[in-house]
Chain A
Amino acid sequence: MSWIGHLVNAVSLGVVYGLVAVSVGLVFGVLRQVNLAQGEVIALGAYSLWMTRDLPVFARIIICIAVCVAMSLVIQVIIFRPLRGASALTTLIVTFGLSYALEGVWTIVFGTNGQPVSMLSSLNQVVVGGNVGLRWITLIELGVGGIFFAVLVLVLYGSKIGVMMRATAEDFRTARLVGVRIDRVVTLAFVFGGVSAAMVAILFTVQTPLVTPTLGFNLITLGLVGTVLGGIDRLGRATAGGFVVGFVNSILGAVVPQELLVFLPMLTFMFVIVVLVLRPAGLFTPKGSNLERV
């Protein structure tokens, strides 16, 4: 495959991780807390696609979105409401525990070996063949990702609840003081998180049709890494960070010689450490705002 083909594939994986980062970044923006269990929302969404395999595609997509939003809200109520005000690290550990427990649940209910989801596999056909190897799914990913992000920006900057959300992200306490209904804002963040999880579940399973219990955890670890790399403080930066991690991972996978491919995670995480040491507040955060550095 030519370098254009590699770039196209890299963009495609970048969009998926960008969407993962959106859902992490939204919750962090409002609550300053990390939701690692978002990965298990994606996993449940993917399993729901398997469970509804006899239904028409349209219904499956609707059900997947509904399931993800519902689960996202359940996590908000049972985990994040009691932990309101706890540190990002505490919530990281709690949701780490929850993810692990849910992974056990998937193993028990759906088996260790995974379940195939063969939805929309026709989208893997190429649009532009030859050296480019552009597939429909890449175009759709870009389209869906772009539309979702545009809707998000429209809501955040064009609606009252969006203004409230940005106000909460800016200063939680003052926002509450001037009458922002925090619970509504938080709920909205989790709803958006659920929707983006559903989209990840749908788009990811088109390319990688096997859903295993570790799917969610694998996606969210790299997604979270991207979020922190980009700068978890701002949604745009977090999303860009997620995109970069997916993109770099895919490019490295193409450039690195076959026999060294097993060391790909090592390269990716070394890149992560280098960025964190040099720019602790994030790749896209201006210098001079290194809050977490001692």
Chain B
Amino acid sequence: MRSRLRLVAELAGPLAIVAAVAAFGSTMSIAQQGNVTNILVTATIVVALYVFTGNSGVMSFGQISFVAVGAFAAGILTSPTFTRQTNMPSLFKFLSTTKISSFDSLLLGAGLGALFALLVGVVLLRLSGLSAGIATFAVLEITYDALSYWDKIGPGVMPVVLVPVTTSLAVGALGLGAAIVVAFAYQRTRSCRLLRATREDAVAAQGIGISVFHHRLVAFTISGAIAGFAGALFVHELGSVSTGQVYIDLTFATLAMLVVGGTGSLWGAVLGGIVLGVLESFLSNAENGVAIGSLHVTLPNGLSVVIVGVIMVVVLIFAPKGISGNHEFLERFLSKKPAKAGVEPESISKVTNEESPEISSSSRPTS
């Protein structure tokens, strides 16, 4: 009974906070609603990041490439064909003539994100730790470079414009809700449990016959699908997209959200996305000038990045499990007894400590 209740809370908690944010946002002005939608879409990307990094313990700096592919595909194929022919004359034929609806483009984004992730994953997922981090970063750089300059698949250095703005507050909330449901359903699968076993101890997991590569690939592909889907939501929220918007800044922002929320739980990913999203949105408003009481304050440009960066550093040093403590919603209250230390998901610093001095030094080659 209690375990079932815990399961319900695990899904209902994140969904409830999304509903609360959406309900709160709907009372605001139209301009403010745009900010809230942005927070929800960004949180969707954080959920995508969590599905891979949280469950596998492998850090990826490349997930924003899947967001970029989803955003550009959805943006180009839903923009009016005549603007495509003038703005992007050298586009591939099928890209310049095909026109799809906004809803279809969300599915297309998810599909392309999954496909791209699968291709990247097959090549890269045998790597772990630092090499995996560098290799996924390389994927981000390659995607950015290709989308920025290859004018057969996109507008080159120009942004994609005149994309229908269909991601309203409600659509954003539904999109994030859908991503949460997918992440939750995946967490219930055998594959994900095996993946979590490899995260806790890769050697032991392999010893009992678990294929690390196989289960990582599954998580990476699902993560890519959610990321591509979020990218499509993103382009329909803004009505345009340029490559700079889906590059290192977004990678940093979403990574900070995941880390601050707590890498090891879905609740943490959603919470981190929303809490830091609200903070960032407030700060970037303040960079354009904001009235606090009778005081008119304009923060210097760039301060929001400094504050978010410092928060991330402080959280990682003093509370590496993030604000969720790596627990799911109400997990601690609904457990029969206090969760045992070995059972609960641990922080990323524990998860991937195969390279810490104590452990790896003994197995190093002596040349």
CB of A278 to closest CB in B, whole Å: 11
Contacts of A280 in B (CB 8 A): 126-127, 131
Contact call A171/B361, Cβ cutoff below 8 A? yes
Distance, CA A115 to CA B17, complexed state (A)? 46
Given contact pairs A90-B349, A263-B145, A293-B127, A272 touches B134 in the complex (Cβ within 8 A): yes
Contacts of B206 in A (CB 8 A): 294
Q: Which of A92, A94, A277 contacts B317 (CB 8 A)?
A: A94
Within 166-217 of B, Cβ neighbours of A (below 8 Å) are at: 202, 206, 212-213
A 83-103 binary contact with B (CB < 8 Å = 1; else 0): 101111110111011111111
Contacts of A233 in B (CB 8 A): 364-365
CB of A32 to closest CB in B, whole Å: 5
Contact call B316/A94, Cβ cutoff below 8 A? yes
Contact call A101/B135, Cβ cutoff below 8 A? no
The verdict on B239 contacting chain A, using a C-beta distance below 8 Å, is: no
Given contact pairs A108-B303, A286-B365, A263 touches B352 in the complex (Cβ within 8 A): no
Chain B, Cβ-Cβ closest to A232: B130
Contacts of B298 in A (CB 8 A): none
Main secondary structure of the interface of A (DSSP, over half): helix
Contact call B361/A277, Cβ cutoff below 8 A? no
Contacts of A277 in B (CB 8 A): 123-124, 126-127, 135
CB of A238 to closest CB in B, whole Å: 12
CB of B327 to closest CB in A, whole Å: 20
The verdict on B5 contacting chain A, using a C-beta distance below 8 Å, is: no
Contacts of A31 in B (CB 8 A): 357
Contact call B309/A265, Cβ cutoff below 8 A? no
Distance, CA A232 to CA B365, complexed state (A)? 13
Contacts of B310 in A (CB 8 A): 97, 101
Contact call A289/B365, Cβ cutoff below 8 A? yes
CB of A256 to closest CB in B, whole Å: 13
B 126-147 binary contact with A (CB < 8 Å = 1; else 0): 1111111111011101101110
Chain A interface size, under 10 / 10 to 19 / 20 to 34 / 35 or more? 35 or more
A 106-144 binary contact with B (CB < 8 Å = 1; else 0): 011000100000000000000000000000000000000
CB of B298 to closest CB in A, whole Å: 12
A→B interface (CB under 8 Å) = 31-32, 34, 79, 82-83, 85-90, 92-94, 96-105, 107-108, 112, 170-173, 221, 224-225, 228, 232-234, 262-263, 265-266, 269-270, 272-273, 276-277, 280, 285-286, 289, 291-294
Q: List 27 A-B residue pairs with CB atoms under 8 Å apart, sorted by A's residue number.
A: A31-B357, A32-B360, A82-B317, A85-B357, A89-B59, A90-B320, A93-B312, A94-B317, A97-B312, A98-B309, A101-B309, A104-B302, A107-B302, A108-B301, A172-B357, A228-B130, A262-B145, A265-B141, A269-B141, A269-B145, A272-B134, A273-B124, A273-B138, A280-B131, A286-B367, A293-B127, A294-B202
Q: 20 other contacts beyond A94-B317, A265-B145, A277-B126, with CB at 8 A cut-off?
A: A32-B356, A32-B360, A85-B358, A86-B320, A86-B353, A87-B349, A87-B354, A89-B348, A90-B320, A94-B316, A101-B310, A103-B305, A107-B305, A108-B306, A112-B301, A173-B357, A225-B138, A263-B145, A270-B138, A277-B124
